[in-house]
Amino acid sequence: MSTLKAVRGTRDLLPPETQLWNRVEATARAVFSRYGFGEIRTPIFEATELFARGVGEETDIVSKEMYTWEDRARAASEKAQSLTLRPENTAGVVRAYIEHKLGDTGNLQKLFYIGPQFRRERPQRGRYRQFWQIGVEVLGPVSSGAESPIRDAEILEMLASLLDELGIRNWQLDLNSVGSSTDRPRYIAALREALAPVKHLMCEDNQRRAETNPLRVLDSKDPNDQELINSLPKIADFLDEASTAHFAQVRAALDACGVPYTVNPRLVRGLDYYTRTTFEFTVPDGSGLGTQNALLGGGRYDGLSEMLGGPKAPGIGFAIGEDRLILTLQAQALETTPTKLDAYIAPLGIGQNAAALALARELRREGLSVEVGDGSFRMKKSFEAADKVARHIVLLGEDEVATGVLTVKTFATGEQVKVDRTLLRSHLLIPSASKQVESKANEA
Ligand code: HAM
């Protein structure tokens, strides 16, 4: 019988790697709470129409990458409905904003999410069919200041702080403005016009994009087309006064905070809802991502709420590809060595198993992380097993149980001492370096 495997493009995350995932998520939560964000959890599947309207029918995501199915009616009172596994979370958050009338509070909504997303892409390193995003959305009525450039700069500054705090090195922030909903059609018309006489010189994909979605030509990585693409009109020349001023203020605030960025006029992003500020953070080649070097992306979506039938609610947000963040941390060798447990309790003989479990229960209740061995193990096996997972081994034989004085070995120093049960917790919690000092002081 053939063995079953995880579906192509999906994977299992196992310890100790999951420790790194948890550290990343804990750091993100801590940073977000310092900036006043609250968590939102939206469903993993939504009505297909949400993504068709929100992300855009013509985008790669909606036209070829979604997991969509017809959900059959189960009762006469129900209707069949087309449902889709969320390929991204922004549309779901804005749907929830509208559904729960969050705009009626008059307040700026500062929301974050951490969760899986699904896209049927060609799997490769850093690109999966189920992947994780850590994202943020800031939106609200115009009166809440949701449209202000300070919001754009603040989340970019927050991202810079988060990446620094996580220990990501050499990140680069690419920044652009794709203009308002009136600037963009003028730019697209100019692009079409500029592409018409030269598109036959381009690769097949770009010839098609020049017709269907000229903005996508700017994303093209085809080496032969780069020169032509660089000579195309730039969006900056098509921004109206308000969009130009908005972008200038975002940059001025970033300059004031000392957050470095590069203005990249070709950064248009692959989702239709973007207006004005767009951005991506990348890491250099050799940071573990191969060609998938975008760690995260985001931007403003001032018209999305209205596109989904809601009130005017300008917003801005980003989503970090958590899988890619982890790959980068691993490649940049910043992965912390898996933290070891405080103690491994080794019962000496099966007669001590029950006492060992009782001691483990006490220590765990005192807040220590503890693993319990098995009295059937030989001493050598217990030491080997303990050394793999814990900083100390606590030997528990008949004598120890009777006297309440335990033998404890610290692996980092090789030191083995007798410790009274009442002092065990503090002994196990002292870092090895201080223990050396402590034992030297005792010797003197
Ligand atoms: P996105 O650029 O489509 O934007 O995705 C954001 C990030 O998710 C990417 O930069 C990448 O790191 C990660 N990502 C995307 N697809 C995959 C994949 N197949 N495998 C692994 N990682 C992937 C959005 O999703 C927008 N909703 C971001 C946003 C929030 N804009 C405004 N608010």
Q: Which residues of the chain have pLDDT under 50?
A: 335, 437, 444
> What predicted TM-score, i.e. pTM, was given to this entire model?
0.87
Q: Domain 343-438 is of which CATH architecture?
A: 3-Layer(aba) Sandwich (3.40)
The structural domains of the chain, with segments of one domain joined by +, span 17-180+239-331, 343-438
> Which atom of ligand 1 lies nearest, measured to the CA of 281?
10
Give residue 61 CA to ligand 1 midpoint distance, Å.
11
What CATH topology corresponds to 17-180+239-331? BirA Bifunctional Protein; domain 2 (3.30.930)
Task: Give the pocket of ligand 1 (CB within 6 Å).
Answer: 88-90, 119, 121, 126-128, 131, 133, 135, 137, 271, 294-299, 301, 317-319, 321, 323-324
Give the pLDDT of residue 390: 96
The H-or-E segment that residue 270 falls in is: none
> Which atom of ligand 1 lies nearest, measured to the CA of 300?
32
Distance CA 82, CA 66 (A): 12
> Which atom of ligand 1 lies nearest, measured to the CA of 295?
12
Q: What is the pLDDT of residues 116-157, one digit of tens each?
A: 999 999 999 999 999 999 999 999 999 999 999 999 999 999
- Ligand 1: residue of 61, 85, 88 to mutate (most ligand atoms within 8 A of CB) is 88
> Which atom of ligand 1 lies nearest, measured to the CA of 317?
33
Phi and psi, residue 219, nearest 5°: -75, -15
Q: What is the pLDDT of residues 310-362, one digit of tens each?
A: 999 999 999 999 999 999 999 886 545 567 999 999 999 999 999 999 999 99
Q: Do 17-180+239-331 and 343-438 agree at the fold level?
A: no
Closest CA to 313 of 111, 153, 155: 111
- Ligand 1: residue of 324, 325, 327, 328 to mutate (most ligand atoms within 8 A of CB) is 324
Give the pLDDT of residue 433: 52
Q: Where are the beta strands (DSSP E) in 55-167?
A: 68-71, 81-85, 109-118, 130-139
Determine the Cα angle at 246 with ends 240 and 249, to 5°: 140
- Which tokens belong to 259? 């957050």
